[in-house]
Copies of this chain bind each other. A is one copy, B any other.
Amino acid sequence: MEDKHVNNNEKPKDDSQIIAESIGKASLIEPSMEPSTVHKGVYYGSYLELNNLLSLQNLESSKVGKPAHEEMLFIIIHQTYELWFKQIIHEIDSIRSIMSTPPTPERLNGVILNRLKRVTEIQKLLVDQISILETMTSLDFLEFRNLLVPASGFQSVQFRMIENKLGILPNTRVQYQQHHYHSFFSEDDRQKLETSEKQVSLLQLVIQWLERNPFLHHEDYDFWKSYRSAVDQILQKDLERVNNNKDLSDDMKEQAIKDINKNMESFQTLFDEKSYNEKLEKNEVRLTYKALQSALLIYLYKDEPIFHTPFLILNYLTEIDELLTMWRFRHTMMVQRVIGAKIGTGGSSGYHYLRTTVGDRYKIFLDLFNVSSYLIPRNTLPQLPPVVQQQMEFVWQLH
């Protein structure tokens, strides 16, 4: 229903062509608010649909005639969560849209960066927000908890959509009560979930973008070859240094060589494209081999101008993952504190389910975290050929 605040106050005027229409669009006039203009143009309350918004808090406990003071908080905090989820979806969708637009979506890296940052700022808030819910004591929650059966935060469609749009695959999800997660949603919601599962995820778009990195090969330069030979040299030197060190006892030498061998194995896995691709098929890794190389290139040469924003973007992606995990973790602890983990109900309690979702399994950009393991110190980093480095320049000089 329309908010007819104006009518309450005065009868519609002839100059109903409101000021906003006539002047407001004039672009350099500082919007002013004076009583004479207030009842024309946009009104704060109507713009935000406050009459509607503030009437959507309907307590189940009121319906049964025993209004529980704390249920209001329960509703409002969940509603603010959902509003923020909508905003996060708005941002992710816009980034996905930019990144799907040929030919050079990275032209808008500044915009992408800003929106990813915003997502993390929202996520921080969502994590902190749990402190508010923690002011509700267990005893107070009991006053209305049973009235909500079987509703559960598990059923937040938007949260699941965020996960899907970022790139969580349906089959990585932990089953809840031995059922596919769809089972807990209404038909309408299930359709939304399916749609979001089918869309190109942010992860996929990031992979495509990384694969476009033109610096993996440039004329004679082959990043992967150059990186690999640097790694080999370092490991070789490590080995020599240990072998030539007369101060080491046999035990220590043995241990050191064992460590180096482990290290070599770990890098071996990295350099074996075939076995990497097998992992990819099994979903043990998510970045393609080429995308992984590209990420490594960016992490290692992040100081080159052309990588300044790409590096920041990769960082924000891992931060989004980190904050999602943090949210799950704090949420789990809050549940333990307010609800407890009932002894005897075994693995089926909400608390125990939630614990299983806090881990690497739900990290979308896990491979980016793991890239850290493959970095080599700056002083061992192969020098870039001048012709390549020049292409990466981007400074206060007209070419």
Contacts and interface: CB of A to CB of B under 8 A. Distances in A.
A9 B263 contact: no
Interface of A is mostly: helix
Given A69-B94, A189-B5, A24 B149 contact: yes
Contact of A135 (B121, B213, B270): B121
Given A17-B247, A238-B28, A139 B300 contact: yes
Given A305-B107, A396-B214, A146 B20 contact: yes
A183 interface: yes
Q: How many copies does the complex hold?
A: 4
B308 A25 contact: no
A90 interface: yes
A147 B73 contact: no
Contacts of A54: 82-83, 86, 158
A86 to B, nearest CB: 6
Contact of A30 (B26, B44, B56, B259): B259
A399 B395 contact: no
A126 B342 CA distance: 31
A23 B107 contact: no
B31 A145 contact: yes
Interface string A244-276: 010111011001100110110111011000000
Contact of A22 (B82, B245, B329): B245
Contact of A241 (B23, B58, B117, B124): B23
Contact of A76 (B25, B33, B83, B325): B83
Given A22-B241, A148-B42, A300-B139, A269 B47 contact: no
Contacts of A25: 146-147, 241
A383 B337 CA distance: 26
A296 to B, nearest CB: 11
Given A23-B238, A41-B149, A266 B344 contact: yes
Interface in A14-46: 14-15, 17, 19-20, 22-45
Interface string A388-399: 000101111111
A169 interface: no
B118 A189 contact: no
Contacts of A27: 142, 146, 234, 238, 376-377, 380
B342 A30 contact: yes
